[in-house]
Amino acid sequence: MSDQQSSYVHGTSDIPLLGETVGGCFDRIVSQFPDNDALVVRHQNIRWSYRELQEQVDACAAGLIALGLEPSDRVGIWAPNTAEWVVTQFATAKAGLILVNINPAYRLSELEYALNTVGCKALITAPSLKSSNYIDMLWELIPELDSARPAELIAQRIPTLNTVIRLGDEPSRGMLNFSDIPGRAQPKHHDRLKELSAILQFDEPINIQFTSGTTGTPKAATLTHHNIVNNAYFVGRQMAFSDKDRLCVPVPMYHCFGMVLGTLCAFTHGAAAIFASESFDPHAVLETIEAERCTALHGVPTMFIAELDDPDFESFDLRSLRTGIMAGAPCPVELMKRVMAEMHLRQITIAYGMTETGPVSFQTTVDDPLDRRVETVGRVLPHIEIKIVDQDGRVVSLGTAGELKTRGYCVMPEYWNDPERTAAAIDRAHWIASGDIATLDEEGYCQIVGRIKDMLIRGGENIYPREIEEFLYQHPKIDQVEVIGVPDPKYGEEVCAWIKLREGESATEEEILAFCKGNIAHFKIPRYIRFVDSYPMTVTGKVQKYLMREQMAEELLSDKRQTA
């Protein structure tokens, strides 16, 4: 309920928090629904019941223990949506290991930073994805792999890493195959796994996800069992999930949207998690919904647009759909209406949160009216507190805009091994700052009205300008660069770079794009590049990015009118 005078709200519920680890929760659900479909991966022709998935998970967990991995060791995973990702997600949890999610779009510098920041001891990798050959990239980053014995790696650039495990059946120098891991386990390792189930605590870290900051280097948000088990469970309740539901998960597993709101959300309710393809393919999603009679579908707005725009959309029977989550970017009214009417998602929900809050703090319900689902991000989830404050940290009155802060079970304990940035984000009363400007109304519905910092969201991907600026500054011809987000009808926002060249230098857009390609993730590469002589500045010398955004928005609108 909301305080009638101030913008403070806490989610009350008769349903208590779950005091379980990820593994404990999973095993409990397996015992309740052993023969239910748990995981269906169509591109790998895999269909496992809960009992079958449990066998895969336990075998993998014992094998990881046999490799010498011990509780709290970090294990990276650099792969698209596969069955192995899910097995690893739950196997690491049961072995007490901390899973480190690595974006499949990462290039070498980003991968190296991620592995070293958290001290990964092992890395599980796909062989390739689209234009990225992960095996070749790893051999370049870690030349010692060429002559290393599997699981005995000594890498100069990543000194903590001693094991690289690859997916697929082909052998690669210095690497183990994922399918070999279970066979390494002996009875003592399975006994150790059973011991751990009684020892592991739900407040221990279980997952690290990288989220960039304005300082340019990604921060390692560290989540506990308690954070994500409960968030997944209560998000599922908002969608009225049961063991009869079948959730299509086209969002990436490396993100909270996939691994918490996807697989873990399904598994906390005995539902099925279904993958259509290793990375998003709208046609495959539609085929999967029809073939698997999916009842729920997740996605960012651009994914739903792509599905609706598929040339064969009308030929698919989507009547099994009921609910799901649209999140990651503002959801246009007309898109919501189309999704509800044409895709039969009459009970689709909107969710809001941040990686550091495991991730969801606000969500609409299956019976909220359309205007609430479109104009707001719903009401606060059970057992979570929200306050909206002014610049002095004082709670504002209802309807007044301010910064949204969150407190409760969902808040991460820290950024990994980074007390300074942890203290900057989480205050002594354990409120975490969102950086988002929001309002609350009398009924507790929240509206997100802006962002304090310059973060932009392109198709659901959070992009932080400073990170791109730091990279572009490495170009020998660039004197100054400022990166902003500009409106885009497809992706919500696109990356735009204003570049000031060094005196006497000249460059082309193509030259800058070639410099970016293969060195930073594709979604961070600027869509628009403008060469400028100066920037709009304040009297104190600060660049006024909001004026840059306004100018670019007008310029792009003018260009659109001229081509219309």
Residue 2 predicted with pLDDT over 70: no
Query: What is the enclosing helix (H) or strand (E) of 83?
Result: helix 83-94
Query: CATH second-level architecture of 457-563?
Result: 2-Layer Sandwich (3.30)
- The answer to whether the 22-375 and 457-563 domains have the same CATH topology is no
DSSP-derived letter for residue 152 is: -
Give the pLDDT confidence score for residue 305 in this predicted structure: 86
Check pLDDT > 50 for residue 3. Answer: no
Torsion of Cα atoms, 26 then 31 then 33 then 36, to 10°: 70
- Residue 370 clears pLDDT 90, i.e. is over it: no
pLDDT above 70 for 170: yes
Average pLDDT value for residue range 352-369: 95
Q: What is the pLDDT of residue 373?
A: 85
Q: What kind and span of H or E run contains 233?
A: helix 225-238
Q: Is the pLDDT of residue 345 over 60?
A: yes
Q: Using the Cα atoms of residue 539, residue 542, residue 546 and residue 549 in order, give the sign of their dihedral.
A: positive
Tens digits of residue pLDDT in 399-412: 998 899 999 999 99
Q: What is the pLDDT of residue 489?
A: 87
- Averaged over 523-544, what is the pLDDT? 81
pLDDT class of 454 with cuts at 50, 70, 90: low
Tell me how far CA of residue 468 lies from CA of 106, 116, 218, 479, in angstroms.
13, 20, 12, 14
Q: What is the pLDDT of residues 385-442, one digit of tens each?
A: 999 999 899 999 999 988 999 999 999 999 999 999 999 999 999 999 998 889 999 9
Dmax over CA atoms of the chain, in Å, equals 72
Please provide the CATH number assigned to the domain covering 22-375. Answer: 3.40.50.12780
CA atoms within 13 A on the CB side of 195: 10
Residue 213 banded pLDDT, cuts 50, 70, 90: very low
262 pLDDT exceeds 60? Answer: yes
Residue in this structure with the two tokens 């870290």, named with its chain if needed: 205
The mean per-residue pLDDT over the stretch 510-516 comes to 96
Q: Find out whether 119 and 72 touch, Cβ atoms under 8 Å.
A: no
E-assigned strands of 255-383? 272-275, 296-299, 323-326, 347-353, 360-363, 379-380
Would you list the DSSP string of 257-272? HHIIIIIIHHHTTT-E
Q: What does the pLDDT average to over 466-474?
A: 84
Q: Which residue has the higher pLDDT, 348 or 542?
A: 348
* 81 class by beta-carbon count within 10 Å (0-12 exposed, 13-18 middle, 19+ buried): buried
Over residues 290-303, the pLDDT tens digits come to 999 999 999 988 89
3-state helix, strand, coil in the chain (%, to 5): 35, 25, 40
Q: What is the pTM assigned to this prediction?
A: 0.84
Return mean pLDDT, the chain. 93
User: Would strands 219-224 and 205-211 be described as parallel, antiparallel, or unpaired?
Assistant: antiparallel
pLDDT of residue 451: 67
pLDDT for position 68: 97
Q: Of 8-12, 242-246, 385-389, 549-553, give the lowest mean pLDDT range.
A: 549-553
pLDDT given at position 371: 86
Q: What is the pLDDT of residue 290?
A: 98
Tell me which of 319 and 1 has the higher pLDDT.
319
pLDDT over 60 (residue 531): yes
- Please state, in angstroms and rounded to a whole number, the distance separating the CA atoms of residues 184 and 59: 9
Place of tokens 């709208």: 282
User: Domains of the chain: which residue ranges?
Assistant: 22-375, 384-451, 457-563
Backbone angles phi, psi at 522, to 5 degrees: -60, -35
Q: Backbone phi, then psi, for 52, in 5-degree steps? A: -65, -40
pLDDT of residue 214: 39
Q: For domain 384-451, is the CATH number 2.30.38.10?
A: yes
Q: Is the pLDDT of residue 160 over 90?
A: yes
For residue 511, the number of C-alpha atoms closer than 13 Å in the C-beta half-sphere is: 12
When pLDDT is averaged across residues 547-558 and rounded to a whole number, the result is: 89
Confirm if 415 and 386 have CB atoms less than 8 A apart: no
Q: What's the average model confidence in pLDDT over 472-490?
A: 89
Residue by residue, what is the 3-state secondary structure of 416-473?
CCCHHHHHHHECCCCCEEEEEEEEECCCCCEEEEEECCCCEEECCEEECHHHHHHHHC
Report d(CA 276, CA 498) in Å as an integer. 39
Amino acid letter, residue 24 = G
Higher pLDDT, 215 or 409: 409
Residue 500 in tokens: 């000031």
Mean pLDDT of 38-58: 98
The mean per-residue pLDDT over the stretch 167-194 comes to 97
Place of tokens 């507790």: 444
Task: Output the pLDDT for position 330.
Answer: 63
Instruction: Collect all residues with Cβ–Cβ distance below 8 Å to 54 and sequence separation of at least 6.
Output: 26, 27, 30
- Residue 216: pLDDT above 90? no
Specify burial of residue 394 (Cβ count, 10 A radius: 0-12, 13-18, 19+). Answer: exposed
Residues 6+ apart with CB under 8 A from 477: 501, 502, 505, 506, 507
